[in-house]
Amino acid sequence: MVLNAIEHLLGHFDYFVAEGYLMEIFGILWQEIIMRPMINSLALLYQLLFNNFGFSIIVFTILIRLAMIPLTVRQTRQMKKMQIIQPKMKAIQDKYKGKSGDARRQMSSETMALYKEAGVSPVGCLGPMIIQMPIWIGFYRAILQTMPSTPEGMANLSALFYSWNPAISAVPFNSQFIGLSLVDLVSAASLPWNYVLPVVVGASMFLQQKMTTNPTTDPRQRQTNQMMLWMMPIMFGAFTWQFPAGLAVYILFSNIVGVVIQYYVGGKQPIELFGRSFLGTDQTKAELVAQRAAEVAESNVDASSPKESDQNGQSEEIQRKDSRRGDRNRSRRNGRRSRRRRNKGN
C-alpha cells in the first residue's frame, strides 16, 4: 500500500512538472515566504526609523543575524569538534596514503565512522552560508521592488503590502543614505563610496572568514583554507561593485554582526587576530612569525617524507646491486681456484 501511495504521488509530481505547474508553485512559495515578509519588514522599519531606508536595512540585518544565532552556535560547536578529531583524521589519511581502489573506499568508511562517533556533520559548518544565500537573492529583489521608478512598479509594490501594514502611506520611499542611493549600483556611486564600500565589504568578510576557518593539520587542507581566506573577500569585494548599494550595506553589516557574534560564541578575538599581524608589538609579531615558521617546517617535513622514502629505496637498490656484484666476483674467484687445482693435478 505504501508503494502504491508513493507511485501515486510521483505520478502527480510528473504531471505538475510536465504542465509547468511546479515552477508556478515555486514562484508562489518564493513570493509568499521570502519576498512579501522581507518587503513588509523593510517598509515597516522604514516608517519606524524616521523614514530612513539605510537604518531599516541595518536593523533588518541585525534581526536576521540574531535569528541565525542557533545556527552560528551549531557551526562553532561543529568546528571545535572537527578540530578535536584532526589528529585521528590525519592518522587515517596517513594509513591509506598512496593507495587507491578498495583502500580509498575503506578510508572514506573509516572517516565517516569517525564523524559519526564524534557527532560531526561534514556540512554542519555550511549552515549559515546556505541559509543566507536565498536571503541575499531575496534582498536584492526586495530593494529593487521597494524602490520602484515606474507606475507599474508602484502598483506591484502596493499589491505586495499586507493590509495591516501602515507603511503603505509612506510610499514612495527615500533611497538616500549618507550620500548613497541605495537602489543604484555601487559603481555608479560618487567618490569615495564607489571604491571604499567594496574594500570595506571585502575586509569585513576577510575578518569573518579568519574567525570561522577551522584549524587543520593537513597541509593540503591548510593550503585550501588559506586560498579561500583570500579568494572569498576578493570575489565579494569585486561583486559588490556591481551590487545595489543597499545590498552592499546589508552584506557589510551582516559581516560586522557576524564577527561580534563569533567573538562571544566562539571565543576568538578579532582585535587580536588583526592586531598580531598589523598592529601588534614586536613580541606578538615575533610569536606570529614563530608560529608560521613552525607551520612551514611541519609542511616541509610532510613534503620531504616521500623524498626520504625514495632515497631509502635507492639505497636499498644499491645495496642489492653491490651484493649481487659481490656474489658474482666470489663465483669467479672460486672458479679460477678450481681450474688451478685441476691443472696442478694434471
pLDDT at 2: 43
Residue 114 makes CB contacts below 8 A (sequence gap 6+) with: 85, 88, 89, 92, 120
pLDDT at 198: 92
| pTM, to two decimals | 0.67
Cell 576568538 sits on residue = 268
Task: Name the stretches of the chain with pLDDT < 70.
Answer: 1-21, 122-129, 149, 214-218, 266-346
pLDDT at 208: 84
